Amino acid sequence: MADTMRAAVVYKREGRKRIEVRDVPIPQPGPGEVLVRVGRVGLCGSDVHGFFDPDGTSRAEGLIMGHEAGGHVAALGEGVTGPAVGAPVALDPQVACGTCPQCRSGLVSICDNKQVIGSSLRGFRHGALAEYIAVPARQVHPIPDTMSMADAASIEPLANAAHAVRRAALAGDETVAVIGAGAIGLCLVQLLRSRVTGLVIATDVSASHLRLASELGADVTVNALEEDVVQVLREKTGGQGVPVVFEAVGIDATYTQAIGAVRKRGTVIAFGAVQDTVTVPLLPILHKEISIVGSTGANEETAEAVALAATGAVDLRPLVTHIFPLDKAEEAFEAARGAAAIGAIKVQVEV
């Protein structure tokens, strides 16, 4: 094995962040770590916002980004017994400390010291936009040989969607709505279709995303550019409002729709996060006695996501619309930022 690899590294020039693909040393797996030869990497909204924010600290200068990844085990560090070298794996990018009160209760998604692979938000952990990545062994999950690297790189968003569904504590007979039919929203639609007997309603501003939502199981789709989302969702629920609404966009308008469309004593699952702060009407939250339930990352849903994708219960293939080679990583980020204009859902980088 050579000692250097190609890696997409963030640097700053004239006040803005750029990406340069450089030769850097291949990381050596330390004790308890696994070296992974990366195959595919998906770009996430958090990557796009962190990278294009010139002052944002989550994607700092010198960082190799990328946390949605699939690859093959290349080497095992001291004390690691598996998966075997050559085994295909998906990455769980949330590195939990294992010792804080949350971790001790099994709630790793809210670990007090959580770090994320490919993020410089708390600590500095290089990501998967490189030929190799060394990660703690518990961050790699074996996947079937038959699973594509494209699917492997979408396991993380699917696990996050599965966690959001778990946070909703569904009764099973209710109608649900998903605000935003992006990659996570389309995972949610598929998961919810098999979990509830009521309607699955999807909303978006893109006709092509809504067509895909229908194909993947949504009973009703609402184009927010053409129709009043709150009014349609009320009509579809006999004027009562939707029992559980998943917000998967993250801006003022869509959180406001979720709060407007949810029924009395209903639940809004807060997942979308484009802005650090959203402004929403307060009174409906009080007067309808609604619950707003946050969701971040995943707990034990990664293995569940692997099984769902492997059995075809969730089809991840239509989510990937654009693929760039590692050398064009910066173009991939431009495509992800302009996703709406080019009809992109998930942009991936082939390493």
Contact between 48 and Zn ion per CB under 5 A: no
CB 120 within 8 A of CB 174: no
Cα(346)–Cα(115) distance, rounded to whole angstroms? 23
Cα(229)–Cα(234) distance, rounded to whole angstroms? 9
Q: Which is nearer to Zn ion, 8 or 44 (CB)?
A: 44
Q: Which is nearer to Zn ion, 167 or 263 (CB)?
A: 167
Among 5, 36, 44, 128, binds Zn ion (CB under 5 A): 44
Stretch that binds Zn ion, among 88-96, 239-247, 262-270, 316-324 (CB under 5 A): 88-96
Cα(100)–Cα(141) distance, rounded to whole angstroms? 23
Minimum distance from residue 289 beta carbon to Zn ion (Å): 32
**Residue found by looking up tokens 């080679």 in the block:** 325
The token pair at 171 is 């009764």
Stretch that binds Zn ion, among 72-80, 103-111, 119-127, 141-149 (CB under 5 A): 103-111
Cα(325)–Cα(329) distance, rounded to whole angstroms? 7
Radius of gyration of the chain (CA): 20
Cα(162)–Cα(168) distance, rounded to whole angstroms? 10
Contact between 253 and Zn ion per CB under 5 A: no
Contact mark string toward Zn ion, 112..151, x via CB under 5 A: ----------------------------------------
Contact between 111 and Zn ion per CB under 5 A: yes
Among 97, 134, 199, 323, binds Zn ion (CB under 5 A): 97
Contact between 110 and Zn ion per CB under 5 A: no
Which residues 6+ apart lie within 8 Å of 20 measured at CB? 8, 9, 11
Contact between 293 and Zn ion per CB under 5 A: no
Stretch that binds Zn ion, among 37-45, 69-77, 297-305, 310-318 (CB under 5 A): 37-45
Pairing of strands 33-42, 132-136: antiparallel
Which residues of this chain interact with Zn ion, rule CB under 5 A? 44, 96-97, 100, 103, 111
